[in-house]
Amino acid sequence: MRFFDNKNVNQQMPQKEAQMQMLKWIWSVGVNVLSRIWNTVKTFFSLHYCPSRVAKVLLAIVPFVLLLGTYIHFSNKRHEENPRDKILPTISQMYEQVKIYVVETDKRTDKNLFVDDTLASLKRLLIGVSIASVLSLIWGLSMGIYPWVRSTWMPFVTFVSIIPPLAILPIIFIGLGVEELGKISLIVLGITFLMTRDLKIAVENIPREQIVKALTLGASSWAIVYRIIFPQVMPRFIEMIRVYLSPAWLFLIAAEAIASKNGLAYRIFLSRRYLNMSLIIPIVFWITSIGFLMNFILKKILDWKYRWYVDIKNG
């Protein structure tokens, strides 16, 4: 019996040593993994962390996933309590409304409402922003270059730019009517004076030494404007258009909501009468997508045409 006991003990010893080695290996791997995770977390929250391209994409997706998940959760919760709830429609309900709005033709007008509303809103927006951009470019350059123009117009531009455009909306509609002219005029008046002030400041920020040196070398006033000032102001001008697209959309929505027969904002406020959130939310998403696409195109033009400005801005 003693012989067999010793034999069993001798057999159990290697097993215990193997188990101890396995536990040590698991412990070392666990400690190593936790150490790497901790170092990654510290690096992520440090001031000098620069995400990779894949990390940037993943980080950009996170807020949208959280927003969508939160909406789906509360929508399902409301529909469990009230299946006929209209405040937070489900994804399937919005899909059915969008399919009707996008695919089917209106029997009264014999038009596709989605295409008609989108083209009408884009037409008003693009015309208004284009007119405001041209006016502000000419006006801002003139005030930034010529002191007499600045002394004449700067107080007026500053005064008018402080007036809230929506406050004079009734005056615009009474004076110019509720047709296309009134809507486009609201967009023009809403952003022209603000863009003019910003552009004038951009011209004044150009180093004076460049203009003095050009005059010393015999350059004319027009040559200074178009060869020195204009190329340096244009990237800032494009960036200003990107910034003021959002106020332009705001003024367009206000104009279409009050007096219009078509347009994306008109469709939103028409659906509001019937609490049709299944259509309102997708139209808001569509307006946001159009604005994002415009901003993306202008940013790509800026990167392509004025790379030096982007590099300076990014340090």
What tens digit of pLDDT does each residue of 70-102 get?
999 998 998 888 888 888 898 999 999 999 898
Give the chain's mean pLDDT.
85
Categorize the per-residue pLDDT at 6 as very low, low, confident or very high, splitting at 50, 70 and 90: low
> Looking at residues 236-245, what average pLDDT do you find?
92
Torsion angle, alpha carbons of 150, 156, 159, 165, to 10: -120
pLDDT at 3: 45
Q: In Å, how far are 81, 146, 203 from 40, measured between CA atoms?
A: 44, 56, 45
Identify the weakest region by mean pLDDT among 9-18, 236-245, 290-299. Answer: 9-18
Residue 4 has pLDDT above 50, yes or no: no
Q: Look at 215-224, 258-267, 279-288 and tell me which has the smallest mean pLDDT.
A: 215-224
Euclidean distance between CA atoms 124 and 262, whole angstroms: 11
**Domain 91-313 architecture:** Orthogonal Bundle (1.10)
Kindly indicate the confidence band of residue 2, based on its pLDDT and cuts at 50, 70 and 90: very low
**pLDDT band, very low/low/confident/very high, at 280 (cuts 50, 70, 90):** very high
What confidence score (pLDDT) does residue 22 get?
77
Percent of the chain with pLDDT over 70: 94
Domain parsing of the chain, residue ranges? 1-49, 56-88, 91-313
Three state DSSP letters for 102-163: HHCCCCCCCCCHHHHHHHHHHHHHHHHHHHHHHHHHHHHHHHHHCHHHHHHHHHHHHHHHHC
Q: Is the pLDDT of residue 13 over 60?
A: no
Q: What average pLDDT does range 168-187 have in this prediction?
A: 88
Does pLDDT of 273 surpass 90? no
* pLDDT over threshold 60, residue 112: yes
**What is the mean predicted confidence (pLDDT) over 213-228?**
81
Q: Does the pLDDT of residue 9 top 60, yes or no? A: no
- pLDDT confidence tier of residue 207, bands split at 50, 70 and 90: confident
Pick from 65-79, 165-179, 210-224: least confident: 210-224
**From the CB of residue 187, how many other CB atoms can be counted at a distance below 10 Å?**
28
**Residues shown for the chain:** 315
**Mean of pLDDT values over 239-260:** 91
Neighbouring residues of 43: CB distance < 8 A, sequence distance ≥ 6: 49
